Structure formats: C-alpha cells, structure tokens
Amino acid sequence: MTSLATGRRALLERRIRWIVAATIAYNVVEAGVALAAGRIASSSALVGFGLDSVVEVLSAAAVAWQFSAPDPHTRERAAIRTIALSFFGLAAFVTVDAVRTVVAAAEPEHSTVGIVLAVVSLAVMPILSWVERRTGRELGSASAVADSRQTLICTYLSAVLLVGLVLNSALGWWWADPVAAVVIAGFAVREGIEAWKGEACCTPVSRLVGDEPHCTDGCC
C-alpha cells in the first residue's frame, strides 16, 4: 500500500466523513419521500426504493462510525461486514417487493413525485459514489469503497424505478420494474459476497488478516 503523508491522510479521512454525512442526509430525505409517495400511489416499487434508502443509511453510518475513531483501520473489519450485510438486506428487500408485485399483479397509480425523485437521485448518487470511491481508494479503505458501490447500486435502482414508473404511466407495463429489480438484487448479492471477503479494496483487509496483498482492481 502506498504511504500517505499524515496531512494528506487526515484530509482524506475528513472528506470521507463529509461524504457519508451527505449520503446519510440525502437518503433520509429520499426514504421519507419515497415511502410517502409509494403509499399514496400504491406503488410497491416506490416503497421498495424507500426501504433501499434506509439500507443505504445503514451502510453509510457504518463508514461514519469507522472514521469517527482515532485510528479508522481498527474498525475496518466491523464496518466492511456491516456493509456486506446491508447489501444482502438490500437484495432481500428488493426481491421480496418484486415478487409481491408480480404475484399480486398490482398496478400502481401514476406518481409524478416518484418520477421526480428518481431523476434527482440519478443526478446526485453517481457523484457521491464517485467521490467516495476515489477517496477510499487513495486512502486504502475497503469500507469506503464498498459503501461507494452500495451508493452505485442505489443509482441503478433509481434508474430501474424511473423506467418502471414511466413505462407504467405511459404503457401500462406494471411488470417492467419488478423484473429489472430482481436483476439488480442479484448484483447486490454478488457485491455483498465480495465485500464480506474483503475484495472491495483488498489492501487494508489483507493487512488485517495477515495475507499478502493481491489486488487486481487497481485499488492498492
């Protein structure tokens, strides 16, 4: 792992704290809006999206907890495991919601609020993910990189939500969203498994367990 000057490391750690704070704040608002709009429109997709936002808050909170310590690396393993579990929780929420929608053949009402929320999330989430991933890789933090992937999955879900809501409103294709959501759930499970093994950014985790670093993703 490349050594960082003390000042540079402190700057990156502060940046991580600001990023996760912004992520938590945005997702709290996003969850509230999505759950309320989903209930009004009887949209399981919007409700599922709101639950996903809650999971994202958990993931970001794990990173915030890690970087609140004097030496964040001492909390690396606990944070990465929490994030891995949040991936699995996200996949479970999305899958159950998608299956329920298909079985019930539920046709949600048009939701302008939901469409606007999906568009805003598509603009905000990629930026948060990119900044956190870039910072986490320079810092050598597995948890920060894993959380950035969690945020990226939320970006994909925003796109899925937008497509589903638009197709339902324009063409009546109520099944489009749950089908796509299942694919995203499968991706979340894969990312969760990699995070649990410490493959999101192998340097810090490999150092903790005593293995030799073997990065293949340019993280180290």
- Predicted confidence (pLDDT) at residue 111 exceeds the cutoff of 90: no
Q: What angle do CA 166, 37, 110 make, to 5 degrees?
A: 30
User: What's the mean per-residue pLDDT of the chain?
Assistant: 80
Rounded to whole angstroms, what are the CA distances from 182 to 22, 67, 79, 121, 175?
28, 33, 26, 20, 11
Q: Does residue 161 contact residue 45 with C-beta atoms inside 8 Å?
A: yes
Residue 85 has pLDDT above 90, yes or no: no
Report pLDDT for 110. Answer: 81
Express each pLDDT in 177-193 by its tens digit: 777 778 778 877 887 88
For 33, the token pair is: 């809006």
pLDDT band at 122 (very low <50, low <70, confident <90, very high): very high
- pLDDT at 220 exceeding the cut of 70: no
d(CA 184, CA 95): 9
- Whether 219 shows a pLDDT value over 70: the answer reads no
What is the arithmetic mean of pLDDT over 21-26?
Answer: 92
pLDDT digits (tens, 9 = 90+) for 32-50: 999 998 888 877 778 878 8
pTM comes to: 0.72
Local confidence band at 199 (pLDDT 50, 70, 90 cut-offs): low
Query: Token pair of 54, please?
Result: 């809650």
What count of other Cβ atoms lies within 10 Å of the Cβ of residue 209? 8
Residue 124 binned pLDDT confidence (cut-offs 50, 70, 90): very high
Give the SS3 label for residue 200: coil
CA distance 155 to 161: 10
How far apart (Å, rounded) are the C-alpha atoms in residues 63 and 37?
A: 29
Mean pLDDT confidence for 73-102: 83
Percent of the chain with pLDDT over 90: 16
Question: Is it the case that residue 165 has pLDDT exceeding 90?
Answer: no
The percent of residues in the chain predicted with pLDDT above 70, rounded, is 86
Phi-psi region of 211 (alpha: psi -120 to 50; beta: other; left: phi over 0): beta
What's the whole-number mean pLDDT along residues 158-174?
84
| Top-confidence residue, 136 or 101 | 136
CA angle 116, 122, 124 (to 5 degrees): 100
The answer to whether 215 touches 151, Cβ cutoff 8 Å, is no
